[in-house]
A and B are shown apart, each in its own frame.
Chain A
Amino acid sequence: MASYYKKLKKDLEASAGAGLITPEQAAAIYDRVYGARPFAAFRAAHWIGAAAGLFVALGVILVVASNWDRIDAATKMFAFLLLFAGAGEAAVRLDGKPAAAVPLEMVWFFMPIIGIGLYAQIFNLSGDPIKPYLLWAALATPAALLSRRPFGAYLCSILLFFTLYSGTVSHNSVLALTASRAADAQPLWHWALALAVLAGGVAIYPGKKLSLPLGASVVWLFVMLLADTAIKVRSSALILLSGMSLAVLWLTYGSEPEDDKAGLALKTWLGAVYATTFFWHYKGDGYVNRSGADTAAGGAIAWLLFAGALLSVVFRPQRLLPAGGKDDMPAKILLAASMLCSFLLFDANEATAKALAVIANLILAAFGTVSIMSGARDSSEKQINLGVAVLTLTAITRFIDIFGTMLKSGVAFIATGLAFGALAYFVNKGRKALIESVKK
């Protein structure tokens, strides 16, 4: 960070030297930026004070730790309650001073799990590993929601999603949704609790943009469809259909209209289509079907997801490409195609699987091309780079996994290079034409 301020000072002095700004302006800009740095209000005395406090605290912790076994249970519990009350009250009193309130709120947030761990140690408690996390979230959430800062709510949301993921994939917890070997299915109330935790994680998330919590929910649902749960799907067709539909739903509802990019949701959809290209090597459902058949609930969910995603593609503006209305139709076609091609896997054989892989390659090629053209039209270097990256990755993957020999791969590389050259020529020509039309 110090090197940034050094460089800034040097650049400002150079700009003043070149006559771009006056030396006074350069000094004023530097003072303003330097004054706004983190911990700007901290003077040497503050740092020394903080170090002193840290040393004393560490010393107290070590002294207490060395005498831990000699301290009786009631004293440990009373000391914990005192610390808890102190941290909470200090956070409330210093609410208006962020430098103190933020770390104090963090300490307050972690106090419940420290207490649960302490009681477990004192009373030799054991059992379901998920219950302490649920209890922690239940105790910490009200304070996080009441705080005027978002940190506690972020942590609560992360905690709830962590608990959801770790609890539902386990066999023996209060949130377990995957079946124990040779045992009956998990009870329905586990599902109710898991869905409540999921809803809590999404609702508590403080950001205005829903992309991340929606993405975490979508990935969780897909994991539940893949795992040995009451909603498992095992046929390649339903797995692909549900996965692709979830990716499309995330892309549709996870980004705000004013966003200029769809970010992680877009990369996930691209990843899903890219993964589909490997169906070229499909040899049947033998591997995935080994762990049983599709469940009725899983099948119903897969079809519902598909119906929802298809309706969303038709009736909602799409964020696949950032150019707004101009590229809405190509985006809708690409998204619908990515889902509909899953139908080739119903009663699939090697020929239909190969057709699916070819379509997936074409979708990627079309996305790359439209992305480059859209980026050239809107002067978005980032969009052009994304299109080039998708085309390059697709081409290189195919050279490696299909063509194989050096001669064939060499010819394919030359052909792709020429295609890129032609594309660059037409993109540049189109851009110039656009500039000319604006000038007229």
Chain B
Amino acid sequence: MNWKGNTKYLRLVLGAQLFFFAGWGGWLIASRNTDSPEFYLETEPVDPRDLFSGTYVALNYGISSPKGGRCPRRTRDLGRLFVKLEDKGKKAVTSAGEVAVYEAVDCHANPPQEPGWAKAEMIYRFGGPVAMYGIERFYLNENDPRKDARSGSVLAKVKIDRNRDLVLLDLVEKF
């Protein structure tokens, strides 16, 4: 049987590709709409531009170097890690009023089934090990003033979805 140029198989491949994107899109929308509390994180914006990806703010977080509890101190502990995020009383003022800023309080490779644990990937960067949460880019319009945000001037509005992934919802200016 000649597979090359077979219309039936080509349409099957196209259908599989479309099914993948439809499914992934649906899953991302469901993650964003997870019924879990929204909270804020302190950010340190860096290097706000990239020619290939469009305009975005690259974000580092206070929780990128998690400390306290069982969080790793050795630089060799890389890979999957869960970080417990909690309101320790730190506050900030936004247009919506005073909000709580969450901080890292504990780390564990196999955390208990309770809310507040976010999935991270520990990688090595020039300054040492860094926890990456998959929320390190916020895409915005090139005319948006937030693209020039300085360290400490904006908060990231996030939530934790069902798979314990952090979802970045918005970048909010502090007053």
Contact B76 A184, beta carbon cutoff 8 Å: yes
Interface 9-residue window, one of B8-16, B87-95, B107-115, B147-155: B8-16
Interface 9-residue window, one of B17-25, B39-47, B62-70, B96-104: B17-25
In the complex formed, the residue of A with least CB distance to B28 is A123
Of the candidates B21, B132, B135, the one whose C-beta lies within 8 Å of that of A84 is B21
> Binary interface profile of A, 133-145, with partner B (CB < 8 Å = 1, else 0)?
0000001001101
Of the candidates B11, B21, B139, the one whose C-beta lies within 8 Å of that of A124 is B139
Query: A84-B18, A139-B20, A143-B14 are contacts. A68–B76 as well, Cβ < 8 Å?
Result: no
Of the candidates A81, A92, A95, the one whose C-beta lies within 8 Å of that of B22 is A81
In the complex formed, the residue of B with least CB distance to A139 is B17
A318, chain B: closest CB distance, angstroms: 36
Interface 9-residue window, one of A69-77, A263-271, A369-377: A69-77
Contact A125 B123, beta carbon cutoff 8 Å: no
Give the bracket for the number of chain B residues in contact with chain A.
35 or more
A306, chain B: closest CB distance, angstroms: 34
User: In this complex, which of A111, A123, A180 has the most chain B Cβ atoms within 10 angstroms of its Cβ?
Assistant: A123
Q: Say yes or no: is B75 at the interface (Cβ < 8 Å to chain A).
A: yes
Contact A85 B14, beta carbon cutoff 8 Å: yes
Complex CA distance for A139 and B136, rounded to whole angstroms: 26
Contact A142 B137, beta carbon cutoff 8 Å: no
Query: Across the interface, which residues of B come within 8 angstroms of A117, CB to CB?
Result: 53
Q: Say yes or no: is A2 at the interface (Cβ < 8 Å to chain B).
A: no
Complex CA distance for A303 and B159, rounded to whole angstroms: 54
Query: A112-B17, A119-B24 are contacts. A127–B134 as well, Cβ < 8 Å?
Result: yes
A211, chain B: closest CB distance, angstroms: 24
A202, chain B: closest CB distance, angstroms: 20
Q: Say yes or no: is A151 at the interface (Cβ < 8 Å to chain B).
A: no
Q: Say yes or no: is A200 at the interface (Cβ < 8 Å to chain B).
A: no
In the complex formed, the residue of A with least CB distance to B9 is A146
B100, chain A: closest CB distance, angstroms: 21
Of the candidates B5, B17, B28, B124, the one whose C-beta lies within 8 Å of that of A95 is B5
Binding site for B on A (CB under 8 A): 68-69, 73-74, 77, 80-81, 84-85, 88-89, 91-92, 95, 108, 111-112, 115, 117, 119-127, 139, 142-143, 145-148, 171-172, 180-184
Q: A119-B25, A121-B56, A123-B31 are in contact. List 5 more A-B contacts (CB 8 A).
A: A112-B21, A125-B137, A126-B135, A146-B3, A183-B76
